[in-house]
Amino acid sequence: MPPMTLTEKILSNHSGGKPVEPGQNIWINVDILMTHDVCGPGTIGIFKKHFGKNARVWDPKRVVIIPDHYIFTADKMANRNVEILREFAAEQNLPYYYDVGTDRYKGVCHIALPEEGHTRPGEVLFGTDSHTCTAGAFGQFATGIGNTDAGFVMGTGKLWQKVPPTMRFVFEGNLPPYLMAKDLILAIIGDIGVDGATYRAMEFDGPGVFALNIEERMTLCNMAIEAGGKNGIIAPDQKTLDFINLKNKHKVPFEPVYADKGAKYIYEKVYDLSKLQPVVAKPHSPDNKAYVGELKGTAIDRAYIGSCTGGKMTDFRAAAKLISGHQVKVDTFVVPATSEVAKGLKTETLNGKSLEQVFLDAGAKMGMPSCAACLGGPSDTFGRLNQAIRCISTTNRNFPGRMGHKEAEVFLASPLTVAASALTGTITDPREYIS
């Protein structure tokens, strides 16, 4: 059998075990299908249209539904979307529906999936959200699909896919204390552009990557889509297996997969972490790269720390450590990605205070676990940009209107850079606060 990359090996295993190569179209057996309140109703509608009003999903234990986007709002259409999910989950007797207003509510789907044990090495995960690629951090093929494809998967458990070629990004050295995974992925996107990895797998490798914790690896893979990537992926190591074994509540067996020696990559780039600086993506594109020093003194109106890219415990630990003992000078919104993270902010302490209290004492506003303002949403969404203001954010996109107002300006940065900027009211290098 010819040598294959990590992505190719997983797809081969899910299409009968025969060798696959880039550009080849194959049928894939799916392990998990995820949908949420934005695309779930459309997916359900397509499923019922083509498989029948009384059709059953192919496997109830493989369909995961996580409402997370437009949750804490009075908007009737947003509320109706959740009602549709609730009705469908009851009709299909789906065990993995995480309903709003209950103890099962989770928050952002991409963080909730691993928390609840739905991500495992070697598997295939499809989701009706482009940032489904986050789960590549666990050594699986994870990618976003549209409602039509999701409706088909819901009925059959299969999908017709083209095998992507693989780009390899290697990080050497140790991560300095002023850098986070967000800086690494913004550096890559700035170098190759938002179309630089179109329909390609982005594999992250090297000692710098494997020194990262699981949450930081999730951030790397999360923004593969911002470079046009089909998926982001990191080979599983002991950190991965320890995390999965802790979270695999349902004791689902899995088999880690690794690239073959001699596998072919269509592109390789090596980064030296010791030479990287904090990166900011200027409006209105994730590839509009600048180093933070180039933007020093740029006035901002708001800081936002949250989302699947910046709302995990690692993100808040970094921001809280920098903010502790100071006062923010602009409106600063802090949004935990999930209910589990929200609990962690209340229980984990820094200098005798909970992380939540650190943020509150600094003058920040705390939100409920959800996507909140990352995708804009209804006007009453927490943290939404309802005016043409300038915001520095840990989110993953800064296209016009992404966080609300079409004339607002969004700068993307790491939690450290956002926290430092919140303290000064201007874009600020976190090294000014980190010894």
- The verdict on residue 149 lying in a domain is yes
Residue 345 confidence (pLDDT): 98
Distance, CA of 411 to CA of 401 (rounded, Å): 13
> From the CB of residue 183, how many other CB atoms can be counted at a distance below 10 Å?
26
Q: 161 forms bridges with which residues in the sheet?
A: 26
Question: Which domain, by its residues, includes 293?
Answer: 279-432
Token pair for residue 47? 């499923």
**Domain end call among 219, 241, 269:** 269
Pair 276, 187: CB distance under 8 Å: yes
The tens digit of pLDDT for each residue in 31-89 reads 999 999 999 999 999 999 999 999 999 999 999 999 999 999 999 999 999 999 999 99
Give 271's pLDDT tier (boundaries 50, 70, 90).
very high
Based on the fold, state whether residues 375 and 228 are members of the same structural domain: no
The answer to whether residue 179 sits within a structural domain is yes
Of 228, 39, 204, residue with least CA distance to 136: 204
Q: Average pLDDT, stretch 1-21?
A: 96
Shared-domain flag, residues 26 and 157: yes
**Beta carbons within 10 angstroms of residue 426's beta carbon:** 16
pLDDT digits (tens, 9 = 90+) for 173-191: 999 999 999 999 999 999 9
Q: Domain check: are 204 and 66 in the same one?
A: yes
Among 405, 406, 370, residue whose Cα is nearest residue 78: 370
Average pLDDT over residues 245-269: 96
Number of domains in the chain: 2
Angstrom distances, CA of residue 223 to CA of 18, 26, 108, 127, 247: 30, 26, 15, 15, 23
CB 65 within 8 A of CB 154: no
Mean pLDDT for the stretch of residues 143-167: 98
CB atoms within 10 A of CB 281: 27
Judge whether 94 lies within some domain: yes
Query: How far is Cα 404 from Cα 386, in angstroms, rounded to an integer?
Result: 6
Tell me which residue of 250, 263, 353, 370 sits closest to 308, measured CA to CA.
Answer: 370
C-beta of residue 199 within 8 angstroms of C-beta of residue 230? yes
Interval 209-215 mean pLDDT: 98
Q: Are residues 96 and 235 in the same domain?
A: yes
Q: 203, 237, 269 — which closes off a domain?
A: 269
Query: What HEC string does the chain produce?
Result: CCCCCHHHHHHHHCCCCCCCCCCCEEEEECCEEEECCCCHHHHHHHHHHHHCCCCCCCCHHHEEECCCCCCCCCCHHHHHHHHHHHHHHHHHCCCCECCCCCCCCCECHHHHHHHCCCCCCCCEEEECCHHHHHHHHHCCEEEECCHHHHHHHHHHCEEEEECCCEEEEEEECCCCCCCCHHHHHHHHHHHHCCCCCCCCEEEEECHHHHCCCHHHHHHHHHHHHHHCCCEEECCCCHHHHHHHHHHCCCCCCCCCCCCCCCCCCCEEEEEEHHHCCCEEECCCCCCCEEEHHHHCCCECCEEEEEHHHHCCHHHHHHHHHHHCCCCCCCEEEEECCEHHHHHHHHHCEECCEEHHHHHHHCCCEECCCCCHHHHCCCCCCCCCECCCCEEEECCCCCCCCCCECCCCEEEECCHHHHHHHHHHCECCCHHHCCC
Share of the chain above pLDDT 90, in %: 99
Q: Is residue 15 domain-shared with residue 154, that is, in the same domain?
A: yes
pLDDT at 237 exceeding the cut of 80: yes
Q: Do 318 and 403 fall into the same domain? A: yes
| 198 and 283 assigned to the same domain | no
Task: For residues 225 and 329, state if they share a domain.
Answer: no
Together in a domain, 211 and 343: no
**Do 78 and 126 belong together in one domain?**
yes
What CATH number does residue 34 fall under? 3.30.499.10
Residues 233 and 147 in one domain: yes
One domain, residues 190 and 322 = no
**Domain presence at residue 257:** no
Rounded mean pLDDT, 328-335: 98
Domain final residue pick, 243, 269, 295: 269
Q: Please report the pLDDT score of residue 1 as a whole number.
A: 83
Q: What is the bridge-based pairing of β-strands 349-350 and 353-354?
A: antiparallel
Q: Is the dihedral of CA 370, 376, 378, 384 positive or negative?
A: positive
Would you say residue 258 lies in a domain? no
Tell whether 379 is covered by a domain: yes
Q: Residue 131, by phi and psi: left (phi above 0), alpha (psi -120 to 50) or beta?
A: alpha
- Which of 117, 309, 134, 313 lies closest to 234 in space, CA to CA? 134
φ/ψ of residue 50, rounded to 5: -95, -25
Q: How confident is the model at residue 221 (pLDDT cuts 50, 70, 90)?
A: very high
Asked if the structure places residue 256 within a domain, the reply is no
pLDDT at 435 over 80: no
Whether 1 is in a domain gets the answer: no
Looking at residue 250, its pLDDT comes to 87
- The two tokens of residue 240 are 């991965």
